[in-house]
Amino acid sequence: MNSRRFHLITGAAAAAALAFGMHHAHAQADTLKIGVILPMTGQQASTGKQIDAAIKLWMAQNGNKAGGKTVEVIVKDDAGIPDTTRRLAQELVVNDKVVALAGFGITPSALATAPIATQSKTPMVVMAAATSAITAASPYVVRTSFTLPQAAVGLAEWATKNKIGKVVTLVADYGPGNDAEKYFAERMTLNGGKVLDKLRTPLRSPDFAPVLQKVRDAAPDALFVFLPSGQGAQFMKQFGERGLDKAGIRLIATGDVTDDDQLNDMGDVALGVVSSHHYSAAHDSPANKKFVAAFEAANKFRPNFMAVGGYDGMRVIYNALNASKGARGEALLNAMKGQLFESPRGPVLIDAQTRDIVQDIYIRKVEKKNGQLWNIEFDSIKQMKDPGKSK
Ligand code: PHB
């Protein structure tokens, strides 16, 4: 091909592309899109259902304007499959030009997406996943959920004070389970306790029968459990059916197990279970009562800790869009850092250095009130940073 003619053609094409691009940029300048990726189907579907409902509540209460522009939320279903999460994130960044990515029901989904956030300089708000290391996977990650080290350390302290000396741990065999096991066991050992066995079940389709038999045989004072949201009811049923409660083995857990999404259907086997977490639907504050009432009016179910992570995630994005007057990229990210606000869970800080959440961790006990089961908070550790960051 004649090289001069080639230049003319490419020159014209470039001019056309530029014109189209400018037009395109102008058309989207008034709309800020937020790309939310959630497990709406599959094993983690309760997380998707809860966060989606919380985002809709946030929008209903706060409108679709932020940073002087119109906000549009695009929700995509990854079914909890990390390869799908990554593909959807890529499409949302490239095709939809989202200002922020959000959601992420499980740790592998968040980790699969982190490189895309880094490369495209897109803030990524983790509303659910809770492995400590996620915030280190990209400087664009900001977290509004919690970390398993936060939940586990407080419970170990409570166990020691309550004469629980010998324990067995049982966790889901992946990131957050590793964190829960490590931080609970380390703190128990530090406090003079003994960890008799460390058991694990797979993330997908776990069978609790064999591990519960092992727990029975080991006869600890207590069994410590972390399972991801959605598995608590099935576990609790088998714990009761195998008579572990009657054998005098105390069940203690992170609040993922006594999940408000399922707690009310667990029955009396859940009564008295002590857990630690950042949110209970029974949290006694005016802000939470308002949140729960509005959530229950809009949905036929109670908000759980995932809903609060989603609601606060939207708050962090809105606050940042407003403070930065609708900025993108690093300017939007910087406006997310250091935010301090009252969440339905209590006071919250987005640590500017780590981009992780600093929050109160509560010790709770399952009690029946007015015929319903609730996680009733009876103690707390104030403004806990992620213990996983200090190592
Ligand atoms: C996670 O995969 O990080 C995860 C999922 C559900 C939970 C906690 C952590 O309840």
pLDDT tens-place string over residues 257-301 = 999 999 999 999 999 999 999 999 999 999 999 999 999 999 999
Tens-digit pLDDT profile for residues 330-345: 999 999 999 999 999 9
**Could you give the CA distance from residue 71 to residue 64 in angstroms, rounded to a whole number?**
5
pLDDT for the residue 374: 98
Ligand 1 atom 7, closest CA? 228
Q: Which residue bears the tokens 């922020």?
A: 100
Of 274, 272, 308, give the one whose Cα is nearest residue 291: 308
47 C-alpha to center of ligand 1: Å? 9
Atom of ligand 1 nearest to the CA of 229: 10
Asked which of 37-46, 110-119, 138-147, 241-250 is least confident by mean pLDDT, the reply is 241-250
Ligand 1 atom 3, closest CA? 129
Q: Which residue bears the tokens 């006869």?
A: 219
Please give the mean pLDDT across all residues of the chain.
93
Atom of ligand 1 nearest to the CA of 259: 10
26 C-alpha to center of ligand 1: Å? 39
269 C-alpha to center of ligand 1: Å? 23
Q: What is the mean pLDDT of residues 8-30?
A: 49
Query: pLDDT grade, residue 15 (50/70/90)?
Result: very low
- How crowded is residue 260: how many other Cβ atoms within 10 Å of its Cβ? 27
**Could you give the CA distance from residue 56 to residue 53 in angstroms, rounded to a whole number?**
5
226 C-alpha to center of ligand 1: Å? 9
Ligand 1 atom 2, closest CA? 106
User: In terms of DSSP H, where are the helices of 30-174?
Assistant: 45-62, 82-94, 107-120, 148-161
The 3-state DSSP class for residue 154 equals: helix
Burial class for 369, CB neighbours closer than 10 Å (0-12, 13-18, 19+): exposed
Tens-digit pLDDT profile for residues 47-79: 999 999 999 999 999 999 999 999 999 999 999
Checking if the pLDDT of 17 tops 50, the result is no
Pick from 47, 49, 107, 231 the residue to mutate for probing ligand 1's pocket: most ligand atoms within 8 Å of its CB.
Answer: 107
Q: What are phi and psi of 79, to 5 degrees?
A: 55, 20
Please give the structure tokens belonging to residue 289: 């009562």
3 C-alpha to center of ligand 1: Å? 57
Pick from 106, 135, 145 the residue to mutate for probing ligand 1's pocket: most ligand atoms within 8 Å of its CB.
Answer: 106
Atom of ligand 1 nearest to the CA of 47: 6
pLDDT for the residue 171: 98
* DSSP at 339: -
Pairing type for strands 250-254 and 194-201 reads unpaired
Q: Report the pocket of ligand 1 as residue ranges, CB < 6 Å.
A: 106-107, 129-131, 175-176, 228-229, 256
Query: pLDDT grade, residue 198 (50/70/90)?
Result: very high
**Could you give the CA distance from residue 371 to residue 226 in angstroms, rounded to a whole number?**
26
Q: What is the mean pLDDT of residues 29-37?
A: 93
* DSSP at 249: P
Of 303, 342, 298, 286, give the one whose Cα is nearest residue 319: 342
**Could you give the CA distance from residue 33 to residue 101 in angstroms, rounded to a whole number?**
9
129 C-alpha to center of ligand 1: Å? 5
Atom of ligand 1 nearest to the CA of 109: 2
Q: For the chain, give me the number of helices (H) and strands (E)?
A: 11, 15
Checking if the pLDDT of 23 tops 90, the result is no
| Percent share of the chain, pLDDT over 90 | 91
Ligand 1 atom 6, closest CA? 228
108 C-alpha to center of ligand 1: Å? 10
pLDDT for the residue 30: 84
Angle between helices 305-323 and 45-62 (to 10 degrees): 40
Q: Which residue bears the tokens 């989904």?
A: 109
Please give the structure tokens belonging to residue 36: 């939310």
Q: What is the mean pLDDT of residues 343-348?
A: 98
pLDDT for the residue 14: 47
Which residues, listed in sequence order, are joined to residue 197 by a DSSP beta bridge?
168
**Could you give the CA distance from residue 197 to residue 220 in angstroms, rounded to a whole number?**
9
Checking if the pLDDT of 304 tops 50, the result is yes
228 C-alpha to center of ligand 1: Å? 5
176 C-alpha to center of ligand 1: Å? 6
pLDDT for the residue 378: 98
Q: What is the mean pLDDT of residues 212-228?
A: 97
